[in-house]
Structure 1
Amino acid sequence: MAFKIKEVADLVGISVRTLHHYDEIGLLIPDQLSQTGYRLYSEENLETLQQILFFRELDFPLKKIKEMMNQPDYNRQEALELHRKLLLEKHKRLDQLLFSIDKTILHMKGEIKMSQKEKFEGFDFSHNPYEKEARERWGDEKVDEAKEKTDKLTALEQQNMQNEMEELYRQIASVRHGAADGEEAQKLIHQWYLWLNKVGNYSLQAFKGLGEMYMNDERFTKNIDQFGEGLSEFLRQSMAVYADRRIKKGKDDV
């Protein structure tokens, strides 16, 4: 069954102009044209449109959506499973924010008391790459290099990278009460150094500087310490030990 562009717009609840734009940029090209030149969308086109809108709901830019969906290994079912996971995470964050708003209103009315920490529950900067700060500290070239690496990944690969990062945080958090220069900690910090160089190009000095930022920027501290109180400080110390040792040995490779 074929759908005219107005029928698709009415069915989905988006504008005809939006569909024209998706066609113009090669994101959603209708499978057919009528004899009079009108766009005709197939059921497969509608499935593609659904996935595009899921990505848009998660704030993916159109250019990135096109790149991901044009990957040879793009799998619709895997993408839907990822959409579901990310939307559930977004739902959880929004629920927490709404809960914080309700508590804040009660606090303002004098009906309850909120601690300073409670006022900021629900805010999550973990998906923010802090690009502005990174550019200021290490320059456009290094940031663009890192973005180029991550932009080539599919949505599933990006999620896997995120999972790897969080698992490393948890492992390092499990030894944070030990010595920062201990063998166990340094093995994990080496894995952290290798992981960072998958997405960027960090010299040992930059790696050490990143550790300092974990403590100097409260947003980093807040997000890292959710994996374990004091983790950001332990990372700072361990990363400094790791970098200094390798610099002393004349090693600056991965």
Structure 2
Amino acid sequence: MNEYTVGAVATLAGVSVRTLHHYDEIGLLEPSERSASGYRLYSPADLRSLQRILFYRELDLDLGQIAEILDDPTVEHLSDQRGRLTERIDRYRAMVEVIDKELAARAIGLTLTPEERLEVFGSTRLEDNAERVVERWGDTARFHQRRDRVATYDRDDWLALRTEQADIHKRLAEAMSSGVPAHAPEVTAIAEEHRVHTHRWFHDCDHETHRELARAYRDNQRVGRNYDDMAPGLSQYIHDAIIANSDGHDRQRTEDTPAAPAAPPH
């Protein structure tokens, strides 16, 4: 069978009979034959033309542009549309990347605009590590508390937080470079400031939680590298200062706890 009825073509191509009638009426795709009864009959060549039309429609070309391409024996029109399609793909890809970054930022609680994030964090893009952070900590209460808390912070809150944080790190680095032991009272006092800072700005942080953070600072390559970029060895020094501070508070609490009264003699 070399000819196809309009209904058969519509089924094969996944278009409506009305669409084929319209293509015929505007001269875009005229069937090669008519039956004795006047019904449209399409040849295999007509089907190939329809495939091209549907392909160009997928590129969002209008019917006038498609007619020009079909009438032009050269590939100039097609090359032009390929260039336009490539530009559109690049634009959509860039849009998806922006959306992905925004979703990542929201996942860790950042509600600042990209411009504000640049002002507060500089070239450090926290959202780049969001997937890893959520995967590792996302099911913990501490992560949820931190995310919910920072989600309420505006630009001024973040600037204040970062200024306080930088001051603590600076004084710890200076103490280390001056040769002050991590367990010295003046250093453990800064470690206590670090704990209070974390407790106030991010999540509940008692001394046991602070110990856990200290171990994470030492063991986590990214966080440790950030500290060691400030001063080589700082991640270990901060760990030691936090542990010394937490141990000291535990000892003080034990000393302050009244001894249980002795059992009465029998």
- The TM-score normalised by the length of structure 1 is 0.49
Greater Rg over alpha carbons, structure: 2
Structure with greater contact order relative to length (CA < 8 Å, sep ≥ 6):
1
Given the two structures, how large is their TM-score scaled by the length of structure 2? 0.47
